[in-house]
Amino acid sequence: MEKVVLLMDRPRKLKFTMNSVCDIEADLGKDGNGKQISLLSVLPKSEREGAAFPFSLLRLLLWGALSDDDESLTPKSAGELLQDFCDSGGNVTDVMVKIMDAFRASGIISSLVKEGEKNGKKKKQR
């Protein structure tokens, strides 16, 4: 697996695992029908599109990506790291690019896409 590193307060290794994705989805909550919100439904299709989604989601994704590197991290402390990164001249697009790189490196995103395609085909058959 390719290493994805983001230079923040120190070099931070971004990595998504099934557990971190489940933790992110748990924090996303449920939709109006009481159904669990899937990460695939809110994940941007590209880094450029990622720059236009809510900062709360960016913070949550960063927390999930860093949780393997630092188990003491909370979503709020991930937000503080993100703020410090921006205060030091970084920008959210740089972070989103690294997050998407970490998803691709994990292999999880391709399994989520396959699952979404499979579910989409089932819905069309009804």
Q: What is the pLDDT along the chain (126 residues), one digit of tens a residue?
A: 678 999 999 999 999 999 999 999 999 999 999 999 988 888 766 555 555 678 899 999 999 999 998 999 999 999 999 999 999 999 988 898 899 899 889 888 665 555 545 555 544 444
Whole-model pTM over 0.75: yes
Cα distances from 64 to residues 6, 34, 47, 102, in angstroms, run: 14, 23, 17, 11
Q: Both tokens of residue 14?
A: 């971004």
Sign of CA dihedral 79, 84, 86, 90: negative
Q: Domain range spanning residue 63?
A: 4-125
How many domains are there within the chain? 1
The residue written with tokens 């995103």 in the block is 109
